[in-house]
A and B are shown apart, each in its own frame.
Chain A
Amino acid sequence: MSTRRDFMGMALGGFTAAGAIGGLYAAKRTWDPLPSVKAAGSTVIDLSEAIEGEPMTEKWRGKPIFVLKKTAEMPAHDRDVVVDGARYHVSIALCTHLGCIPAYKKADQTFFCACHGGVFDTSGTNLPGLPPPSPLEIPPFKIEGNTLVLGSEGPEYLEMKKNNLVV
């Protein structure tokens, strides 16, 4: 008698649990980014338009991208992207603290984040003692002639990645 009731209880519990797990999985998948969002294409940046010392803001996967053609007095850095002998700082323009867009202060030659006061230099390195914990992130890029293709990993990017320079 009791075993029959136990069996009914376990059968009900088992099916309910299976249904609940299935339902949770479906709910999780509904919250996932759509494939079309994931497959967001690449962005091509024409570097011939860049002006020395004036960052341009491009857009890749909805995120803003800084492209700064460095002037001679701006210190060189291993994170620079070198195209045709010119040095560029290329990074995702979202503060590594909580994601605001830092603004370029021409007078100080720094990127200043107004949200919580983070500061980055012209190589994207975060200044110490402030909220951002790491340098501005470098997006995957590939150099093609005088253009930069964001979203694909060229040899220069892979080299940087190997040396842990991209974040």
Chain B
Amino acid sequence: MAKIDEKAFPFSKQWLDDRLALTTVMKVLNTEYWIPKNINFLWAMGMILAATFGILLISGIFLLMYYVPTVEGAFDSVNYTIMTEVGYGWLWRHIHGIGASLVFLIIYIHMFTGIYYGSYKRGREMIWISGMLLFVLFSAEAFSGYMLPWGQMSYWAGMVITNLFSGGSLEAYGLVEWIRGDYVPGQAFLGRFFMLHVLLLPLVIIGAIVFHFATLRLPHVNNQDGEEVDFEESARLWKEGTVESRKKSEVIPFSPVFLSKDIFVMGVYFILFFYLVFYNFNFAMDPVNFDPADGLKTPAHIYPEWYFLWSYEILRPFSKDLGLIAFAIAQVIFFALPFLDRSPNVAPASKRGLFQIWFWLMLVDIIVLTFMGKLPPTDPAFAFIGLVSAVLFFVLWAALPFITMFEKKIKE
């Protein structure tokens, strides 16, 4: 056994260090986890995501106290019991709804920040891949949660999305029925999506967040200029502790110094968050979902939540098989970004020539797809814009390796 200090007072610092190496752990994870100074508020998005996930978890736990996962009871338990009877039940529901919506806004900002600054390559590939894993998991979490109020949109989104698994001409209806546990969404379906939403997926998400953090530890976060920071030298300067040396150091410790900046940005974010919760909660509540599920009546126009609209619009303009293939590719293509970008430059897009155009086209294309996805499929002009944007999405991805292959190398 390791040597312990016999005289250490129980639970004192020394006592804990002898048993848990607490000081070492704190150093590795906080006080000597170095963050470059040269970053901006966009680097706070990660911690905002972590905090929003925490809020979703807490509000979800309170919703769970009165939610009833049955096809007869679900709709009323949410719209009647929780919203009107349970004290402050409406608060948890609105927090949960706004949180689920904003988490995607922040995820998209976080992703595009990574793309803009080239934070997904040259040692940071696993950060990107674990991040995309989180994106897929959050998508599944949002979809399964959307089933739970068992309104019209829950039912028909469940119908359409599970039908995607028939694989078009593969006609794998057995698989679709297996996923549903029934010919159509019913009790078996609601029960299993309830299980996924409240237990299995949150557990996997927590694991994936820990993994995402672990992937950051060795490569460290990138910075605004893609500059390669000499962490050892900078850490030494910081630890020297003089005003002079700390000024010269290019880094600050994650905690408490960087975290206090993060918390400032978080403060601004939560003002927006609670403004929406209290004064604009309808933005996260679809009116159609205030009708109970009815398997004999499709709503006049169905569409997913705003954060899925761009990929939904990629499915829509094509024939069934082509649409499914396009949709499947769109779901996973971002995973491949570190490998499709052939340029060694880690630098902001503004310094990367054609890549800068690629970046803004991709961002605008996804925004246009999002708007088109919300419109009914009847207007030919908008359907055409949707088609062009969907094709552009694939053209951009196909062009990426070539654009980046010929990119001028910025530095050795």
Contacts and interface: CB of A to CB of B under 8 A. Distances in A.
Decide if the interface of chain A is mainly helix, strand, loop or mixed: loop
B163 A99 contact: yes
B318 A131 contact: yes
Contact of A40 (B183, B192, B321): B183
Given A33-B177, A59-B296, A100 B377 contact: no
B376 interface: yes
A152 interface: no
B301 interface: yes
Contacts of B323: 131
A127 to B, nearest CB: 13
Given A98-B160, A100-B159, A117 B378 contact: yes
Contact of B159 (A61, A99, A103): A99
Interface string B337-368: 00000000000000000000000000000000
Interface string B158-176: 0110011000110000000
A19 interface: no
* Contact-size category for A: 20 to 34
B298 interface: yes
A133 interface: yes
A105 to B, nearest CB: 12
A64 B183 contact: no
Contact of A97 (B177, B298, B320): B320
A63 interface: yes
A27 B323 CA distance: 31
B205 interface: no
Interface residues of B, number: 37
B226 interface: no
A101 interface: yes
A99 to B, nearest CB: 4
A59 B169 CA distance: 26
Given A64-B296, A99-B159, A103-B298, A33 B178 contact: yes
Interface in B323-344: 323
B181 A37 contact: yes
A31 interface: yes
B297 A101 contact: yes
B326 to A, nearest CB: 12
A63 B184 CA distance: 7
B298 A100 contact: yes
Nearest to A97: B320
Contact of B188 (A33, A57, A98, A99): A33
A32 B181 contact: yes
B184 to A, nearest CB: 4
B93 interface: no
Interface in A97-129: 97-103, 114-117
A32 B180 CA distance: 8
Contacts of A1: none
Contacts of A34: 181, 188
Contacts of A98: 159-160, 163-164, 320
A132 interface: yes
B168 A133 contact: yes
A59 B168 CA distance: 25
A64 B295 CA distance: 7
A32 B316 contact: no
Nearest to A61: B183
A9 interface: no
B183 A99 contact: no
Contacts of A131: 316, 318-320, 323
Interface string A1-39: 000000000000000000000000000000111100100
A109 to B, nearest CB: 18
Interface in A56-78: 57, 59, 61-64
B182 interface: yes
Contacts of B186: 37, 62
27 contacts: A31-B178, A33-B180, A33-B182, A37-B181, A37-B182, A37-B186, A59-B296, A61-B183, A62-B182, A62-B186, A97-B320, A98-B159, A98-B160, A98-B320, A99-B159, A100-B159, A100-B160, A100-B302, A103-B298, A114-B300, A114-B301, A115-B302, A116-B315, A117-B378, A131-B323, A133-B168, A133-B169
Given A96-B320, A101-B296, 16 more contacts: A31-B181, A31-B192, A33-B178, A37-B181, A37-B186, A59-B296, A61-B184, A62-B183, A62-B295, A64-B296, A99-B163, A100-B156, A114-B302, A116-B377, A131-B318, A133-B319
